[in-house]
Amino acid sequence: MAILHSPQYSSDQTRIIKLPIGSKTFLEGPAGVGKTTIGVERMLHLMDTGVSGNTILVLVPQRTLGTPYIQAMNLPGVVAGGMVSVLTHSGLAQRMVDLFWPLVAGPAGFARPEEQPVFLTLETAQYYMAHLVRPLLGQGYFASLTMDRNRLYSQIIDNLNKAAVVGFPCQEIGDRLKTAWSGEPGQSKVYEEAQACAALFRGYCLQNNLLDFSLQIELFWQHLWKSELCQQFLIRSFRHLIVDNIEEDVPITHDLLADWIPQAESSLVIYDSQAGYRRFLGADPVSAYHIKELCDQNFSLTTSFVPSQEIQSLSVYLRGALARNPAPKPKIDPRPAIVHETHTYYPQMLDWIAAQISQLIDDEGIAPQNIAVLAPFLSDSLRFSIVNRLANRGIPVKTHRPSRSLREEPATFCLVTFAVLAHPAWGIIPTKFDVAHSLMQAIAGMDLIRAKLLTDIVFRIRAGIPTLSPFEQIIPTTQERISYVLGEKYERLRLWLAEYQQASPGELDHFISRLFGEILSQAGYGFHTDYDKGQVAANLVDSIRKFRRVVGNTLLETGVDMGKEYIQMLNDGVIAAQYMPAWKAQTEQAVFIAPAYTFLTNNYPVDVQFWLDIGNRSWSERLYQPLTHPYVLSRNWPGDKTWTDSEEVETGEQVLSSLVYGLLNRCRKRIYLGLSEYNEQGYEQRGPLLQAFHHILQGLAEG
Amino acid sequence: MSLPRGFIFSQSSLQDYVDCQRRFQLRYLLHQKWPAVEAEPYLENERRIDQGSKFHQIVHQHLVGVPENEIKISIANDEVLEAWWNNYLHSIRDGVLASIQLDNNPHFEELTLSAPVGDFRVLAKYDLLLCQTDGKWLIFDWKTSENHPKRKWLANRLQTHIYPYILSKAGACLGGGEAIDPDLVEMIYWFTNFPEQPERFSYNQASYNDDLRTISSLIAAIDQKTEAIFPLTPDTRRCLYCTYRSLCNRGVEAGDIHHLEEWLEPDAPDELRIDFDQIGEIEF
């Protein structure tokens, strides 16, 4: 069965796709030269020539990068047979830990090897970190830092993860950070405290069979891969390896591949020669490149199929300007590839962007999915501002994450408020505002005025217990104002809550599921046929259930009510702050709004890119992270060297140049520059990217 | 509504369509989550699902070579699982599962095969596939239901048809490129609570042809549907154990798990399984 998708492959591409089955190949080149296309077609070619799909492992640094492989496999033209596994290193590690847990739990130092492992998500890991670190904060830990507590917890977790993926003992985190530090001496104490917290967390995990990301990776690499049973199982199961975007993967993955490739029947390793955008997540293009030495065939592709000549010219100009390099300029004028307009205020710039996108779709026929709106960081308010403007014009939008965090959703607010009312023993008292808004969400047709009126009358706090009184006790004229129809619905809800209180309380997820199913999603209530609210409620139940299943036993031992604890953690922002559903209903035919790095690591080209806020220094500067350091905690940093300002500046320039190159390699036609004199916060900014554009345009204007 | 390109069918999704078209639409086309209670008591339902998943896992562990004593230790605090495990061990030594360890027969555990049917693909995830020395292929499916279902009911389930069909159609890759003769395929349901009462279904070319017709026409019918809301099941008993009951105005409270018809072995809802994908997204 012929399976090549397109007859337009170059001879190089066809040659690589059709290499003999036993080949071990290294393929490199910049974005846009068709490397992933080759990977996908190679996978299909292997299957077409008799290799069973279930013996092929496609390894990618993040799940989204596996999408082209999965989509290709799902097409009817693909030969019948086993399914290819498309996994990340961590996905593979989790599956192996789960399968071989009885073999390694004891040797790895878990205190209760006979019990099941508990896999921690980011939010439950953060919960446990908060649980352990909070008392230390009271003792003066991190007293010199002014930062959000959740960021503090996440940076300690980040350090553990870096140690695992780079491959050094987690006991060395503090020393590595201290050695590289050249600023105020007080910072050394902060690093020592960060080290102590990491050690405390690791010890707690081992004591309680908890597996955070770092422990999963370490368990897999240090125990499972070294177990003959597990290693042979993997090598026999997956005899063919296709590794895409290896430069975005972490050193421990490269170590794994260095062991595995010589034992595999075939391999294709794909390397983007100008990337490595996930360095802040531990990506290491240097160690990735060493894999080339293990391959018997090397190919380098250079002809890009994506950017226009003007965009390619702009790329050369821009990188020259950023490097302050007077190298010869291309003959092609890049200006047709740049559209820009300066505005005084930020909202004006956003209006302009929305208008331009609308015009591109309506007048030029550019499909929404071929447009990306990019910024160095995307705050909730900025995302809302753009989404709202585009929605008003009927333009579909997808963002890199749900528009709002789970805890900020009105449906969550409503469900949690009723949970609090139904569990007075928790001692949490909702405000009248909370109750009125929840009634408005819960009962179809209930407007804010009537909800407030009803709440003012029925909601009381008696002896510290919040209560709702019956509708029938309201005087008839007010009943009429609220309406009997709404009153009846309120009464059914109130009686349901009262009946629940009479019985012994159940689990919080059970309560929410019942309230949703038996009342709020029934006809006449606010969640009935509201698919979005159903989705939010499902995510909430899912989050609570995972929380219960992970921390339930710990709380039981300490006598803390799980439901109360969940709600307190929710309010503190420890959990459900950025809850990602497993499947998010986002249309693919939509304008993509994302931070620039998210767009790069999703790795697909578009016709037009909008770059927002190019005066912002965040295009080149890294986040303020006082407890961690992505460059120091890497394999390439000499252990005895100090990180100085010149390294900071040099790294920033390299990062910006690489970012610009990556974005332009994923743009076919034009770049729109969103310029405003004052940024979102009202400050004037003139970062290096803005200066580089000024330099280019001025130079071209002067001829 | 025509199906999206690349849509994949499974026995579960096709069975859902046969049972209730609206359920299929909500679950697989709209991916609509609707978090009402599936069955009461809630925690007992959750425990049963957990035990079913765990049994599949320990058999998988056993088949890939994890020593029996290590597995036994890992389930020591669960009497039900321990009983199932002992039943399995007994059957694999002296009972109906003995062929699994006989003559080093090649076996494939937790394997997914897929094959094109018309403009789409159908996949089947097998608990265990075994190739005997006489060339016969056995499909094993572990069932952890409390009761033994009626043979007739099992015979009518799409799983009984789709699994042998897909193996015959897509199994060549497992047998060194040789197509698998449907006459050499057998489907075996093995029950953890009734280890000596498996249900065996032989297969043949005529069944293969019938199944191809059935599956193709089902898929074609789904692809041609244009209604905004697919028809609801006429059997309202099903709604008792369906989380969409309020969306469809088909009831308020969930059914009692103890009254669940013996054949309605609950599927593990996605949110109860270890969600590796969710964990996999963590990039610290």
Report pLDDT digits (tens) over A191-236: 999 999 999 999 999 999 999 999 999 999 999 999 999 999 999 9
Query: Residue range A74-83: average pLDDT?
Result: 94
Confidence of residue A578 (pLDDT cuts 50, 70, 90): low
- The partner residue sitting opposite B247, judged by closest CB among A53, A62, A529, is A529
A158 touches chain B (CB under 8 A): yes
Nearest-angstrom CA–CA distance, B272 and A513:
14
Sort out which chain A residues have CB atoms less than 8 A from B70's CB and list them. Answer: 102-103
A583 near B CB under 8 A: yes
Mean pLDDT score, A549-564: 90
CA distance B274 to B284: 19
The pLDDT, as a whole number, for residue B1 is 52
Contact yes or no for B64 and A99 at CB 8 A:
yes
User: What distance in Å separates the CA atoms of residue A71 and residue A67, rounded to the nearest whole number?
Assistant: 6
pLDDT exceeds cutoff 60 at B272: no
- Across the strands, what pairs with A422? none
Q: Rounded to whole angstroms, how far apart are CA atoms B126 and A475? A: 65
Q: Are A667 and A608 in contact (CB under 8 A)?
A: yes
| Contact predicate A204/A127, CB 8 Å | no
Q: Do residues A253 and A89 make contact, with C-beta atoms less than 8 angstroms apart?
A: yes
Q: What is the DSSP letter of A284?
A: -
Q: Which of residues 219-278 of A touch B (CB under 8 A)?
A: 229, 233, 278
Decide if pLDDT at A402 tops 70.
Answer: no
Q: Is A82 helix (H, G, I), strand (E, B) or coil?
A: strand
Angstroms from A335 CA to nearest CA on chain B:
38
Whether A551 contacts A128, CB under 8 Å = yes
Pick from B33, B232, B42, B263: nearest CA to A511:
B42
Residue A581 pLDDT class (50, 70, 90 cuts): very low
Closest chain B residue to A120, measured at CA: B279
Q: Searching chain A, which residue's CA lies closest to the CA of residue B276? A: A91
CA distance B28 to chain A (A): 12
Report chain A residues whose CB lies below 8 A from the CB of B280.
63, 87-88, 90-91, 94
Q: A53 to chain B: which residues are within 8 Å by CB?
A: 173
Backbone angles phi, psi at A118, to 5 degrees: -115, 110
| Residue, of A604 and A103, whose pLDDT is higher | A103
Question: Nearest Cβ partner of A102 from B71, B271, B280?
Answer: B71
Q: How many other CB atoms are there within 10 angstroms of residue B99's CB atom?
A: 17
Residues of chain A neighbouring B77 (CB-CB closer than 8 A): 114-115
In whole angstroms, what is the distance from residue A690 CA to residue A679 CA? Answer: 13
What is the band of A137 on the pLDDT scale with cuts at 50, 70, 90? very high
- Residue A523 near chain B (CB below 8 Å): yes
Nearest to B31 among A537, A580, A583 (CB): A583
Tell me, yes or no, if A52 comes closer than 8 A to chain B by beta carbon: yes
Spatial distance between the Cα atoms of B17 and A90, rounded to a whole number of angstroms: 35
Rounded to the nearest 10 degrees, how much is the dihedral formed by the CA atoms of A585, A405, A672, A337?
Answer: -50
Whether B271 sits inside 8 A of A545 (CB atoms) is: yes
| DSSP string of A619-641, one letter each residue | GTSPP--TT--TTTTSTTS-TTP
> pLDDT tier at B261 (50, 70, 90 boundaries)?
low
Ranges of beta strands (E only) in A322-438 are 338-343, 371-375, 397-399
Query: How would you classify the pairing of strands A667-676 and A338-343?
Result: parallel
Task: Give me the total of CB pairs closer than 8 Å, taking one residue from chain A and one from chain B.
Answer: 196
Considering just the CA atoms, what is the radius of gyration of chain A in Å?
Answer: 28
Print the SS3 string covering A551-615: HHHHHHHHCCCHHHHHHHHHHHCCCCCCCCCCCCCCCCCCEEEEEHHHHHHHCCCEEEEEEECCC
Chain B residue whose CA is closest to A70:
B6
**From CA A435, how far away is CA A111, in angstroms rounded?**
46
Residues of B in contact with A83 (CB under 8 A): 112-114, 123
Cβ atoms of A209 and A117 within 8 Å: the answer is yes
Residue A3: pLDDT over 50: no
pLDDT at B72 over 90: yes
**Residue A170 Cα, gap to closest chain B Cα (Å):** 15
Nearest to A510 among B6, B42, B169 (CB): B42
Are B35 and A534 in contact (CB < 8 Å)? yes
Tokens of residue A483, six digits: 């309406």
Rounded to the nearest angstrom, the minimum Cα separation between A549 and chain B is 10
Tens-place pLDDT, residues B25-61: 999 999 999 999 999 999 999 999 999 999 999 999 9
| Rounded Cα–Cα distance for residues B4 and B230 (Å) | 16
| B6 CA to centre of own chain | 21
The alpha carbon of A623 is separated from its chain's Cα centroid by a whole number of angstroms, namely 16
ipTM of the assembly? 0.91
Chain B: closest CA distance from residue A264 (Å): 18
Instruction: Give the best residue of B173, B216, B253, B270 to mutate against chain A (max A CB count within 10 A).
Output: B173
Taking only Cα atoms into account, the Rg of chain B, rounded to an integer number of angstroms, comes to: 20
Kindly report the number of other CB atoms within 10 A of residue A675's CB atom.
18
Q: How far apart are the C-alpha atoms of A187 and A614, rounded to whole Å? A: 32
Average pLDDT, chain B: 89
Across the interface, whether the CB atoms of A75 and B271 are under 8 A apart is answered no
pLDDT at A366 over 70: yes
In this predicted model, what pLDDT tens digit does every residue of A345-354 receive, in sequence order?
889 999 999 9
CA closest to B56 among chain A residues:
A99
How is residue B182 annotated by DSSP?
A: G
Cα separation, A331 vs A309, in Å, equals: 10
CA–CA separation, A231 vs A250, rounded Å?
20
- pLDDT above 70 for B275: no
Statement: residue A408 has pLDDT above 90: no
What phi-psi label fits residue B90: left (phi over 0), alpha (psi between -120 and 50 degrees) or beta? alpha
Q: Is the pLDDT of residue A90 over 60?
A: yes
> Taking CB atoms and an 8 Å cutoff, what residues of chain B touch A162?
284
Rounded to whole angstroms, how far apart are CA atoms A445 and A85?
49
Flag if A102 and B36 touch (Cβ within 8 Å): no
Q: How far is CA A99 from CA A220, A244, B58, B69, in A?
A: 11, 25, 8, 15
Question: Cα dist. B251→A281, A523, B240 in Å?
Answer: 49, 10, 7
For residue A331, name the pLDDT band (cuts at 50, 70, 90).
confident
Q: Which of B81, B60, B64 is nearest to B72 (CA)?
A: B81
Which H or E run includes A118? strand A118-119
Contact A517 B64 (CB under 8 A): no
User: Does the beta carbon of A603 lie under 8 angstroms from any beta carbon of chain B?
Assistant: no
Closest partner residue to B280 among A52, A73, A91, by Cβ? A91
Q: Cis omega (within 30 of 0) on the bond before A307?
A: no
User: Are A336 and A697 a contacting pair, CB within 8 Å?
Assistant: no
Q: Which of B246, B250, B270 would you mutate first to test chain A, the one with the most A CBs within 10 A?
A: B246
Q: Stretch A275-291: mean pLDDT, rounded?
A: 91
Which of A190-199, A332-341, A649-658 is the most confident on average? A190-199
User: Is pLDDT at A315 greater than 80 in this prediction?
Assistant: yes
Give the count of alpha carbons within 13 A of A529, CB side only.
Answer: 7
**What does the pLDDT look like over A98-126, one tens digit per residue?**
999 999 999 999 999 988 999 998 889 99
Where residue B264 falls (left for φ over 0; alpha for ψ -120 to 50; beta otherwise) is: beta
The answer to whether the Cβ–Cβ distance between B173 and A88 falls below 8 Å is: no
B146 or A678, higher pLDDT? B146
CA-nearest residue to A125 within chain B is B284
Pairing of strands B185-191, A667-676: unpaired
Query: Are A252 and A634 spatial neighbours (Cβ–Cβ below 8 Å)?
Result: no
DSSP assigned state of A470: -
